[in-house]
């Protein structure tokens, strides 16, 4: 090589990805997605159940607090139309209302809940199948323990209401 001469390389520089590399990445992403979707579905079902349970528990706590505060009978019942109780409703998942009866037996609706989102089923046992009532003392008259079971897929949570009016949840 003589000094002063320049060596010029006509090397081809590849930029970007080859078709094989792109297809490999797509196959790997497809496999990972196939593995992740069932786990995500379970997580979504768990979230829907938790949200529905939290709404129902908060409405029971609200009703108990209002009964004590107002010194009146406060009721939580299933409702399809947000105006009246509906004992023919299939479950609590369709919605419920919190109300009290005033001195002339007029229903005063305190809160309306639209119900659960997604495929959540919420069914109560005999004591809380359609409604529950709180007396001015915060107790539930004539009820031992009531249980409402909320489930979606393989996720299940029990809402347990004692005759003292206290509410707790139990994951199954």
Let me know if 127 is exposed, middle or buried by CB neighbors in 10 A (0-12, 13-18, 19+).
middle
pLDDT value, residue 9: 65
User: How does the average pLDDT of the chain come out, rounded?
Assistant: 86
- How confident is the model over 123-150, as pLDDT tens digits? 988 878 888 899 999 998 877 788 999 9
Tokens (6 digits) for 44: 């979504």
74 with 98: CB under 8 angstroms?
A: yes
pLDDT value, residue 82: 84
Q: What is the dihedral of CA 110, 75, 57, 94, to 10 degrees?
A: -80
Low-confidence ranges of the chain (pLDDT < 50): none
**Distances from the Cα of 156 to the Cα of 42, 43, 48, 83, 131, angstroms:** 12, 12, 11, 29, 21
Tokens (6 digits) for 123: 């069914």
DSSP string, 54-105: HHHHHHHHHHHHHHHHHTS-EEEEE-SSSSS--TTSS-GGG-EEEEEE-TT-
pTM of the model: 0.76
Pick the CATH number of 57-171 from 3.55.40.10, 3.40.50.2000, 3.40.640.10, 3.90.1170.50: 3.55.40.10
161 with 147: CB under 8 angstroms?
A: yes
Domain ranges of the chain: 57-171
Q: What is the dihedral of CA 30, 36, 42, 44, to 10 degrees?
A: -80
pLDDT value, residue 8: 66
């Amino acid at each position: 090589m003589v000094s002063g001469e320049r060596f010029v390389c006509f090397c081809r520089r590849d930029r970007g990805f080859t078709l094989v590399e792109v297809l490999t990445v797509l196959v790997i992403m497809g496999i990972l997605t196939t593995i992740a979707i069932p786990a995500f579905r379970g997580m979504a079902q768990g979230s829907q159940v938790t949200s529905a349970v939290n709404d129902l528990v908060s409405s029971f706590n609200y009703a108990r607090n209002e009964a004590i505060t107002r010194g009146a009978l406060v009721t939580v019942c299933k409702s399809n139309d947000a105006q009246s109780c509906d004992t023919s409703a299939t479950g609590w998942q369709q919605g419920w209302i919190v109300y009290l009866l005033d001195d002339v037996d007029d229903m005063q609706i305190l809160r309306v809940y639209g119900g659960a989102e997604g495929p959540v089923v919420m069914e109560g046992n005999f004591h809380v199948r359609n409604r529950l009532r709180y007396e001015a003392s915060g107790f539930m008259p004539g009820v031992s323990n009531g249980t409402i079971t909320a489930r979606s897929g393989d996720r299940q949570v029990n809402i347990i209401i004692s005759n003292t009016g206290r509410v707790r949840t139990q994951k199954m």
